[in-house]
Structure 1
C-alpha cells in the first residue's frame, strides 16, 4: 500500500526541500517506487531534481486546475531514479484560481487516486506556509514529516502547524497522522543545537525520528548540480544520513527492525 507523506513546515530554511529530494532518492536507492510532488511555486524540488522549471510546458498547476491529466505532466528525475510532478511560478496563481473551484481542498487527493497503485512512496514537498497548497497536501497525505532546524526558534510556529493537522484530521482527512519530527542541519559541536535537540526529544518523544540530519556542505552543494546528495557524493555524511532516514521509514512500517539508538551521521 502506498505511503503518502507530506513534508512541511511553515518556517522556511529548515531543510524541507533538501529532505524531499534526498529522501526520494534514498528510497529509490532502496528499490522503492517513488513519486516526488513539488507543491512549492518556487520549484526548488524540481530544479534540485535536475529538471529545468523554466522549460516546462505543463506542471502540477495544470493538474490541480484539471486542464492536464497527471500522467501527461510526470517527468523522470534520472539522477534520483524517481518520478517527479514538477512545479514553477505558474503554481502561485493556483492559490487564487482554486478558491472558486469545487473540492478545492482535495483536488490533489483526487488526482493521486489514479496513480497510487504505481508507487510505494509519494512525497509531497509543501510550500513554507499554511496555505491552500499545503492544505491540499495534508488532505492527500497519510502522514506528515516536519523538518526542524536545531536552532533557537525551532519550536516557533510548530503549534500552528500541529493545530492545522488536527483540524484537517477532524474534518477533511481522518487518516492523517503526524509521522514524525526530523532534526536537520545539526551540528553536534554546537551547545545550542544539543539543547534544542533535547527539547524536541522531551516534547515529541516517539514522534521524533531517531535519524538526525547533520549540517553538511555536500547537501548544500548538490542542488546546484541538479542532483540529490546521494548521487553527487554518496559517501558524504548528508547522503548517508538520508539513507538512514529512508531505512528508518521502512522499519517503522515493519519491513525492518527499528534502530536501537539515535544515529548522528
Structure 2
C-alpha cells in the first residue's frame, strides 16, 4: 500500500530537505520504491540527488500548470530514488494557479497515476504556507514537521498546525499528523532537550525518534550533490536509517510509531 508523506515547516533552515533526501535514500536502501517530489523553487532536493535544477528544461512546474504528465518529467538517481524535480520556474506557480478552481488539488491529481508504482512518495514542501504547501498537504496521507532544536524553534509551529487543521477540514480530511522530528539535536545540552519538551507540551505534539543529531556531514553531502547516506558511516546517517526503520514498521507492519521523550 502506497503512503504519501509531506514534510513541512514554513521556517527555513530546519533540515527539511535533508530529512526528505535522507529518509528517501534510507527507505530506498531497504528495497522500497521511493518517489520524492520537490516543491521548493530553490531545487535543493533535486540537487541533493545529483541533478542540476538550472539545466532542467521541465519540472514539477510544468506538471502543475500545463497538461504535462508527471511520468514525463521524472528523473532517476544513483541512490535508486525517483525525483519529480523543481526549477526556479516553480516560484511563479502560485500566481498561475491562483485563479484556477481546485488549485489545492493540482499535485494530488498529478500524483494519482503514479501512486501504485511506489511504496512511498515523500513531498518536500517549500518554507512557506502558500499554495505549494497546501498542495503538498492536500496530496499527502500524513505530515511530518522537522523541528530545529534551537531557541524560538517553536515560533510558527502553531501557525503550521492551524494550517494542517484547516486542510483536514476542507481539502484532506484523512490527513494524519505524524508529529515533530527533532533536528540539529545536541544531546550534550539541556537546551535541545528543553526545546523538544516545550514543543511537546505546548502543542501536545508527538515527537518522533530518534532525534537527528547536528553534524557537518549534512552540509558536506548537500554541497556535493548527494545525500548523507551516500558517504561513509556517520551519526546523521545512522539516525535517518533508524527513522526509516521506524516509519516502515509503522506504515507496513502495523507497529507503534516510536516517539522520543526528552529528559528534562
Show the 5 A alignment for 1:113-152.
113-152=112-151
Q: Check the 8 A contact 1:142/1:177 in 2, yes or no.
A: yes
CA distance in 1, matches of 2:249, 2:197: 23
Q: Displacement, 1:219? A: 1.4
Q: State the SS of the aligned residue for 1:100.
A: coil
Q: Check the 8 A contact 1:39/1:87 in 2, yes or no.
A: yes
CA distance in 1, matches of 2:102, 2:226: 35
Q: Check the 8 A contact 1:212/1:263 in 2, yes or no.
A: no
Q: Displacement, 1:66? A: 2.3
Count of residue pairs the alignment pairs up? 262
Q: Check the 8 A contact 1:37/1:124 in 2, yes or no.
A: yes
Give the equivalent residue in structure 2 for 1:159.
158
CA distance in 1, matches of 2:83, 2:245: 21
Q: State the SS of the aligned residue for 2:103.
A: coil
Q: Displacement, 1:224? A: 1.2
Q: State the SS of the aligned residue for 1:113.
A: helix
Q: 1:107 to 1:224 in 2, by over 3 A?
A: same
Give the equivalent residue in structure 1 for 2:103.
104
Give the equivalent residue in structure 1 for 2:44.
44
Q: State the SS of the aligned residue for 1:114.
A: helix
- Alignment RMSD (CA, Å): 1.8
For structure 1, list consecutive stretches of 5 or more residues without a partner in the other structure. Answer: none
Q: State the SS of the aligned residue for 1:22.
A: helix
CA distance in 2, matches of 1:160, 1:81: 35
Give the equivalent residue in structure 2 for 1:66.
66
Normalised to the residue count of structure 1, the TM-score between the two structures is 0.94
Normalised to the residue count of structure 2, the TM-score between the two structures is 0.94
CA distance in 2, matches of 1:26, 1:66: 33
Q: Check the 8 A contact 1:11/1:157 in 2, yes or no.
A: yes
Give the equivalent residue in structure 2 for 1:247.
245
Q: 1:90 to 1:252 in 2, by over 3 A?
A: same
